[in-house]
């Protein structure tokens, strides 16, 4: 196993799921050197309180970052970047895992992704929803169709070698993490996932997908905003231009580590 594993877990109003998820992560990673960084974006349903209550049962391996959102829409990307910036400061962490906070990803697949990266077969491993053997449950046909079309379009614009640009269940090495922290990240929305993946591909990292089961939470088309789809489409074109033409800009040491993707004010409540 790697020296240290950091789980980056963005949440927003996940009181029903966060307790079982943290317990399952602790059980699956028992006997390993790991930490779980929970980035909360302003939950008002008791999520934070449950995290704090659960922490003692997991030997203090849970760390909480609380943020205040300043803009509408999901800021999953900036939450992931915030957790990564926090975790990269620990030189003992050499494998990073991103996972959703709503139990949509199966904990049983955790060691598959860890093993792919730890063995050197991949610099980045992605639990894909679209490979043969993958399954998507709990999503309406319309939502599955929109998701699939968006992923196909993204792959055509960036690199068709990857089938799933939007899955938030990812595993990557410390060198891959340092590539992200060393470059300007423009998007704080979920399109961050596609931007970072394009950045890794541009640097020639070995990206490997494996079949996964994704459990939706009764997600329907009503939760999708047309304006968000338009913004995502524009972002994919812009990312494609950087991937194929202009390249990705590095940041100077004096630049903010969160960069333009930071549209929340982070408040780290637990640094130990």
The answer to whether residues 194 and 155 touch, using CB atoms and an 8 Å cutoff, is no
Q: How far apart are the C-alpha atoms of 98 and 84, rounded to whole Å?
A: 9
**What average pLDDT does the segment 100-116 reach?**
95
- The DSSP H or E segment spanning 9 is strand 5-11
**Which residue has 């990557």 as its token pair?**
172
The answer to whether residues 3 and 94 touch, using CB atoms and an 8 Å cutoff, is yes
Number of domains in the chain: 1
The answer to whether residues 47 and 13 touch, using CB atoms and an 8 Å cutoff, is yes
Task: Give 9-62 pLDDT, tens digit per residue.
Answer: 999 999 999 999 999 999 999 989 999 999 999 999 999 999 999 998 888 899
Task: Give 113-172 pLDDT, tens digit per residue.
Answer: 999 999 999 999 999 999 999 999 988 888 888 888 888 999 999 999 999 998 999 999
Structure pTM? Answer: 0.90
Q: Tell me the residue range of the domain where 49 lies.
A: 5-268
**Integer CA distances (angstroms), 130 to 77, 145, 156, 165, 259, in order:** 22, 12, 15, 10, 32
Read off the CATH number of the domain in which 184 is found: 3.90.550.10
pLDDT over 70 percentage in the chain: 87
Name the residue among 246, 230, 243 with its Cα closest to residue 158: 243
């Amino acid at each position: 196993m790697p020296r240290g594993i950091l789980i980056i877990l963005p949440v927003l109003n996940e009181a029903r799921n966060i307790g079982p998820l943290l317990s399952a992560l602790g059980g699956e990673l028992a006997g390993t050197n790991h930490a779980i960084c929970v980035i909360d974006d302003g939950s008002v349903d008791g999520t934070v309180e449950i995290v704090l209550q659960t922490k003692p049962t997991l030997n203090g391996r849970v760390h909480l970052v609380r943020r205040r959102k300043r803009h509408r829409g999901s800021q999953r990307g900036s939450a992931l970047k915030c957790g990564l910036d926090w975790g990269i400061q620990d030189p003992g962490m050499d494998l990073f895992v991103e996972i959703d906070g709503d139990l949509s990803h199966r904990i049983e697949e955790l060691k598959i992704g860890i093993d792919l990266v730890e063995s050197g077969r991949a610099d980045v491993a992605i639990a894909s929803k679209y490979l043969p053997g993958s399954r998507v449950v709990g999503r309406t046909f319309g939502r599955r169709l929109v998701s699939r079309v968006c992923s196909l379009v993204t792959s055509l614009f960036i690199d068709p070698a990857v089938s799933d640009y939007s899955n938030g269940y990812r595993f990557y090495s410390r060198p891959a993490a340092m590539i992200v922290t060393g470059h300007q990240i423009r998007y704080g929305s979920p399109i961050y996932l596609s931007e970072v993946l394009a950045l890794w591909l541009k640097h020639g990292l070995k990206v490997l997908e494996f079949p996964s089961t994704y459990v939706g939470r009764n997600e329907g088309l009503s939760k999708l905003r047309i304006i968000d789809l338009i913004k995502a489409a524009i972002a994919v074109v812009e990312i494609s231009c950087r991937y194929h033409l202009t390249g990705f800009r590095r940041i100077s040491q004096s630049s903010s580590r969160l960069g333009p993707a930071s549209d929340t004010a982070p408040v780290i409540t637990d640094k130990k």
